[in-house]
Amino acid sequence: MKQYQANIKKTKPEAMSVGEVWESDAVVAKYYLGGAGFDQCFSFAFMYTVRDALKAGSKYGLINLIKNRPKDIPQNYFASFLENHDVPRLVEAIGKGDDRLKAAAALLLTFAGTPYIYHGTEYALQGQYNPMKWGEGNANGFTAGKPWISVYTSGGKGNNVEAQMKDPDSLWNTYKKLIALRKSEPALKRGELVLINTSDSRIIAYLRYGLDDSIVVVINLSDKDETVKLNFKDTGMSPTNTYFLYNLK
């Protein structure tokens, strides 16, 4: 592993290697080799924990994931994702509720590390091997001719990129907003993640520290509106500070 990585860096110093190690984070951490191994490794633990949290409507699995992240995985090189070609799609695993899919997007794009988005996640494509559904036209806009692969036709009207681009409240536009927010806020890209205690097991909250501004993230894991109290004790931040509300709904 060390020789492999050293050869990559020697050939192209700016190249980045990403490992797919289908194991717990404790095992995945070993492949970083203290900076001599993979630059990043996908966290399957993150994927499964997010799915379980949204199915159960409970924060505790996420809290354990955050608290138990191995020190050998540098925070900014924690590679998070929600689905890939080897597992059922997120929408198939947790259901079609837009709020839950948006909560998953918020977790992915406000979490510490480097987020990866598998094609179609941004509009709830079903079937891990299916090609993108770009529109309502021939082969869902995948090609003007005869597609070389079977095209997924279910999912309902509006389950394509073209339709969701036009809907300001769509899942696609939620991803667009979150990506723009992450790019514009250094705290979301590089800031330390600190848990905030909440009064409700269905609400997870955490702080992303920045040099100039910090971000308070509050995510409802349930299907219902909830009222929650945040306890900033032990976060180093005063709740009397001035905050600007950014609501994705």
CATH code for the domain defined by 43-189 = 3.20.20.80
Check if the beta carbon of residue 153 is closer than 8 Å to that of residue 35.
Answer: no
Find the DSSP H helices in the chain.
2-11, 25-28, 44-56, 60-67, 90-94, 98-110, 161-166, 171-184, 186-190
Euclidean distance between the first and the last CA atom of the chain, given in angstroms as a whole number: 45
Q: Which two tokens stand for residue 64?
A: 């354990």
Over residues 129-153, the mean pLDDT reads: 83
Taking the C-alpha atoms of residue 156 and residue 23, their distance in angstroms, rounded to an integer, is 35
Q: pLDDT, tens digit, for every residue of 183-197?
A: 999 999 999 999 999
What is the pLDDT confidence band of residue 105, given thresholds at 50, 70 and 90? very high
Among the ranges given (24-33, 115-124, 209-218), the one the predictor scored with the smallest mean pLDDT: 209-218
Instruction: Point out which residues pair with 203 in neighbouring strands.
Output: 220
Please answer whether residues 209 and 222 qualify as being in contact, where contact means their C-beta atoms are separated by less than 8 angstroms: no
Residue 122 DSSP class: G
Do the Cβ atoms of 226 and 200 come closer than 8 Å?
Answer: yes
pLDDT at residue number 154: 66
Residues 142, 147, 151, 157: what is their CA dihedral angle, to the nearest 10 degrees?
Answer: 40
Q: Average of pLDDT values for 121-138?
A: 87
What's the mean per-residue pLDDT of the chain? 90
Classify residue 184 by burial, with Cβ atoms within 10 Å: 0-12, 13-18, 19+.
Answer: exposed
pTM of the model: 0.92
Residue 49 in this model has a pLDDT that exceeds 80: yes
Q: Quick one: tokens of 71?
A: 């020190």
Mean pLDDT value across residues 4-26:
94
Per-residue pLDDT tens digits for 145-182: 888 887 776 666 778 999 999 999 999 999 999 999 99
Between 116 and 240, where is the model more confident?
Answer: 116
Reported as type and span, the H/E element at residue 114 is: strand 114-115
Residue that wins the pLDDT comparison between 224 and 154:
224
pLDDT digits (tens, 9 = 90+) for 69-91: 998 998 888 999 999 999 999 99
